[in-house]
Amino acid sequence: MVKPKIGIVFGGCSEEHPVSVKSAQEVAKHLDPDKYEPLWIGITTSGAWKLCDGPGADWESHGNRPVVLSPDRSVHGLLVLEPERYDMIRLDAVLPVLHGKLGEDGAIQGLLELSGIPYVGCDVPSSALCMDKSLAYIVASNAGIATPKHWVLTADEKIDPDSLAYPVFVKPARSGSSFGVSKVSGPEELPGAIEAARQYDAKVLIEEAVVGSEVGCAILGERFGLVAGEVDRVALSRGFFRIHQESNPESGSENSTFIVPADIPEEARSLVQETAKTIYRALGCTGLARVDTFLTDDGTVVLNEVNTLPGMTSYSRYPRMMAAAGLPFGDVIDRLVTLTLYGRKR
């Protein structure tokens, strides 16, 4: 039996390149080689595409070949650039293992749409929508979901620091993880926080702090409906939750731990899961997403953000929440790829 060829794209040009490589390494451990033929496509930080043996430590420098993903639908896959010629490799599907800009914002999804290749995860509109937190808030709010009070600054737009109720969080509107995010306790800290956020995006979001527990829910889209993973809770010892900022994240965060299942009442757990599903549907998500929220003392679930290609590392939240719900990571990957190959049309 001929195994489907699955292109696995990882790396990328964003600040989350190292995390993407770690996610791909975890995928490599759990993708079933008896069912699928993986083709590993690494994107360097400078944007060069390489066909390599896998996401090992030396993938950028050894055993790779220059490659491009052709937007020509008759190719339906890769052009391998050999000296004085090129070879074509047809792909049956692509599994993007990319995070942040150019991977989670609709860019790679748009290229795959042009190529006609089925791919795992959200489509172009939902990827772009979820990446822009301010736009996601508008759609979620219209669907009846609570969102933080917030302000949006574009380009060089300014805001009166004395007009805000502190503390506030300042963050890039379209960036991943916690890059460029600051907690601001008073007016004097605001200009520096805005400047830090603009290192990652010209569009800046300022949010009033939400008092409550930070909880998340992993969602897996299936042909028969949505599967919610276990809810987790971020337990902080100090400061605020910053993901992928640690010097050695495999050994744990410096100021936070994840409690899975979350130590919250069963009624609250069910509410978080159902709210996460509502948010997922409202934003047009498909395949997978991690919905991050706040649970306030009065039982309100407030949207924080939606990650359409969440981390898949050994320490990431999405696979942990799914595993706690009885779905090992290998099964999650298999379901996502199977759905992409056979279960839906875009």
Catalytic machinery residues: 19, 22, 99, 244, 250, 290, 311, 315
DSSP characters for 16-72?
THHHHHHHHHHHHHHS-TTT-EEEEEEE-TT--EEEES-S-TTTTTSS-EEEEE---
Output the CA torsion sign for 94, 319, 177, 274: positive
206 near 169, Cβ under 8 Å?
yes
Determine the Cα–Cα distance for residues 243 and 219; give it in Å rounded to an integer: 19
234 token code pair: 């971020």
At 135, which amino acid appears? L
Tokens 């089925």: give the residue: 118
Whether 303 and 140 have beta carbons less than 8 Å apart is answered as: yes
122 near 280, Cβ under 8 Å? no
Dmax over Cα atoms in the chain, in whole Å? 68
**Using CA atoms, how far apart are residues 249 and 143, in angstroms rounded to an integer?**
36
